[in-house]
Structure 1
Amino acid sequence: MRIAIVSDIHADAEALAQVFEEMPDADEILCAGDAVSEYEFCADTVALLAGRGVHCIQGNHEAVLFGDRNPRYLEKCRQTYPAESLSFLANAPTTREFDFAGVKVLMTHTGLGEDEYIRPGSPRLRAFAALPYDMVCFGHTHVPFVHQAGNVTVINPGSCSQPRPPERTGTYATFDTETKQGMIHRLGER
């Protein structure tokens, strides 16, 4: 089984559409948060995610948009967009656990702690080895990487729309449940 992972789309429907166009066949697709931005909701992005049956969680941008920190913009969104479009992300959890054919997966937005920035080479990556999962995925930093922590494959797919140096192009990731191998894919490099 192949799992595709996106994160930090930040309301860029064009970048997400490019991911779906270039993505190898995936049995499941996960979105590790920040599908929208705190000041930019995009119904087209939500429609693409919902149309592909993507399993989504909220990131820090959804928490701001749907929390009490941005009430004026949220009210504007309620007047502009269909309720089902807003509820797709407003009702999403902040973490999700999956069992894909016996392969245990945890999806969060920031790693192990609230608003944590885990980058490649971080000493915090060692803590993932103690978790009871085969794969843990998260976003938040926009920096893609795959790391093996004991028996746990740790994946950050980066961002398909707002890459951070050293990346110059958007990224997403895949995970093969049979080989337990993760891979980063760069848009435009099929």
Structure 2
Amino acid sequence: MKVLIVSDTHKAHNGLKEAIKREAPLDMLIHLGDGEGYEDEIKEMANCPVHIIGGNNDFFCDLAREEEFFICGVHVFITHGHAYFVSLDEERLLAEGRGRGADIIMYGHTHKPSVHEEGATTILNPGSISYPRQEGRKPSYIVMNADLEEKPKFDIKYL
């Protein structure tokens, strides 16, 4: 299963369109918030099942703030991250994800890409595909490849 993971598009979709084009075909798209009212357009662009949550800039929307689901038997917890103060550190987010029994925790908000292991838990942030903040400021996203036989693999990619 090939999953495109993005966050923080903030109404600017050229990078998302490019990532979808580069990575097609996709089995799933996960958007970790701050689409700013464009969730219908994002779902239409994806042409696959989409999980999208609300972020701190998603005003007046009906999006859930958090979601849990399984991908190839792996328990995934997604949130934008601002409610867990991820700009300071990941401690609260990690505690919440572990408390829920998540194998993978995905969040956005910081606009800085990362993938790392904390014990048996993988924590990842795709950065921002529209407004990156990491050194070099390249738009980023993550591709997850998963199947029932092996542990999921994650690749941070840049536009």
TM-score (norm 2): 0.83
Q: 1:115, 1:129 → 2: CA distance?
A: 11
Greater share of residues in strand? 2
- Match in the other structure for 1:181: 153
- Match in the other structure for 1:61: 57
Runs of at least 4 residues of structure 1 off by over 3 A?
125-131
TM-score (norm 1): 0.70
Amino acid at match of 2:151: T
Q: 2:94, 2:9 → 1: CA distance?
A: 27
CA shift digits 1:85-134 (9 cap, x unpaired):
xxxxx222111111123111111001xx6151247xx4627647834112
- Match in the other structure for 1:9: 9
- Match in the other structure for 2:65: 94
Q: 1:57, 1:123 → 2: CA distance?
A: 19
Q: 2:113, 2:90 → 1: CA distance?
A: 16
- Give how far 1:151 is off: 1.3
- Match in the other structure for 1:48: 42
Q: Go from structure 1 to structure 2 and tell me whether the alpha carbon gap of 1:141 and 1:156 turns closer, same or farther (over 3 Å shift).
A: same
Which SS does the other structure have where 1:154 is aligned?
Answer: strand
Amino acid at match of 1:59: G
Q: 1:148, 1:129 → 2: CA distance?
A: 13
Q: 1:129, 1:97 → 2: CA distance?
A: 10
Please list, as runs of the form range in 1=range in 2, the aligned pairs for 1:118-137 lying within 5 A after superposition: 118=87, 122=89, 124=91, 127=95, 130-131=98-99, 132-137=101-106
- For the 8 Å contact 1:9–1:162, the answer to whether it is kept is yes
Greater share of residues in helix? 1
- Match in the other structure for 1:116: 85
Q: Go from structure 1 to structure 2 and tell me whether the alpha carbon gap of 1:60 and 1:153 turns closer, same or farther (over 3 Å shift).
A: same
Q: 1:183, 1:128 → 2: CA distance?
A: 24
How many pairs are equivalent?
152
Is 1:172 the counterpart of 2:141? The answer is: yes
- For the 8 Å contact 2:113–2:134, the answer to whether it is kept is no
Which SS does the other structure have where 2:76 is aligned?
Answer: strand
Q: Go from structure 1 to structure 2 and tell me whether the alpha carbon gap of 1:127 and 1:147 turns closer, same or farther (over 3 Å shift).
A: farther
Q: Go from structure 1 to structure 2 and tell me whether the alpha carbon gap of 1:129 and 1:105 turns closer, same or farther (over 3 Å shift).
A: closer
CA shift digits 1:24-81 (9 cap, x unpaired):
5432110000012xxxx5x5x742333424211000000xx21xxxxxxxxxxxxxxx
For structure 1, which runs of at least 5 residues remain unmatched after alignment?
A: 67-89
